Amino acid sequence: MAPRQQPGSQQRHQSGRSLALVLGMGMALCLCAFTAHAAGPMAILSWGDKGEALRATVNEAFINFRTGPGRGYPIFYIAERGEVVEVLKQRTDWIKVRNVKDIEGWVHVDEMVLTNDQNDQPLTVDRANRESYSNRKWEMGTLLGDFGGSSTITAYGGYHLTRNVSLEGALSETFGDFSNGRAATLSIVHQPFPTWRVSPFLTIGGGVRETNPRSTLVTVEDRVDDTLNAGAGIRAYLGRRFIVRLQYKNYTVLTDRDDDEEVNEWKIGLSTFF
């Protein structure tokens, strides 16, 4: 039996890797942009520079130092009112601090807001809550669902131009009985009520779609088509950094044939924001 050879398999192979690469790079870019946005280029340059350390003074009876960034880690030290601590870093809801005696521990953000900064003002810490959700700039998530009868998986990233309008880029892969597909779309998303916990949105966009017939079928060439889409959905803020997203989109695949294809897509997913 001869090795199976499919026309286009080389190309498909390449594109599989490149999609994964693009996915990874896209995420990395998103993250880089985020870190740059959050910390600023100066923060990277001033790594290890102890001169600009952020100091905070305990302004309540005491704050608890834990051995790790979690509620289960034991409290091993208590910093009392008036004690000065150096703020080192933040991981999720925990802030690592060091006192004058070089004792290092993790303090919860709810306790850190009870300290004063250098200007004797309450320290403002980035906490994931409803307010930061409403003012979010970046949104990222994954969606799973059904694209015209095929399973589909999507990764997307969005940037909020205003509270109402955001620009979203998405990469999808679909898995059908007869063909697989990959798609990239760019959309504009409008949410009329950005402050609602459960907030509807409308979306319109366009992109490209690559369809690869299954290798076990009679060989048919891969094809690339442009697509247009319009849809609607709901974002629900669960709390902390979690958003659940449900959406419907109607795609028009602009094929070379006489008729364009129309495909309905339903997806649900989990997103986060910065």
Contacts to another protein by CB under 8 A: 1-6, 9-10, 12-13, 16-17, 20, 23-24, 27-28, 31, 35, 38-40, 43, 54, 67-73, 87-96, 117, 121, 123-126, 128, 140, 142, 144, 151, 153, 155, 173, 175, 180, 212, 214-216, 240-242, 270, 272
The answer to whether residues 230 and 203 touch, using CB atoms and an 8 Å cutoff, is: yes
CB of 230 to another protein, least distance (A): 25
The two three-digit tokens of residue 202, written as one number: 């409308």
The residues that bridge with 265 in the sheet, in sequence order, are: 147, 249
Nearest to another protein of 223, 240 (CB atom): 240
CB of 180 to another protein, least distance (A): 5
Nearest to another protein of 68, 192 (CB atom): 68
Nearest to another protein of 154, 229 (CB atom): 154
Q: How many CB atoms lie within 10 A of CB 216?
A: 8
Closest by CA to 253, choosing from 264, 244, 265, 261, is 261
CB of 120 to another protein, least distance (A): 11
Only one residue has tokens 């897509």, namely: 265
Burial of residue 266 (CB within 10 Å: 0-12, 13-18, 19+) is: middle
Q: Which are the contacts of 223, defined by CB distance < 8 A and separation ≥ 6?
A: 210, 211, 255, 256
Rama region for 55: left / alpha / beta (φ>0; ψ in -120 to 50; rest): beta
- The torsion angles phi and psi of 32, rounded to 5 degrees, stand at -60, -45
Nearest to another protein of 72, 259 (CB atom): 72
d(CA 164, CA 195): 9
CB of 189 to another protein, least distance (A): 20
Nearest to another protein of 157, 233 (CB atom): 157
Nearest to another protein of 99, 252 (CB atom): 99
d(CA 221, CA 204): 30
The answer to whether residues 57 and 123 touch, using CB atoms and an 8 Å cutoff, is: no
CB of 73 to another protein, least distance (A): 7
Nearest to another protein of 34, 260 (CB atom): 34
CA angle 189, 192, 195 (to 5 degrees): 105
CB of 202 to another protein, least distance (A): 25
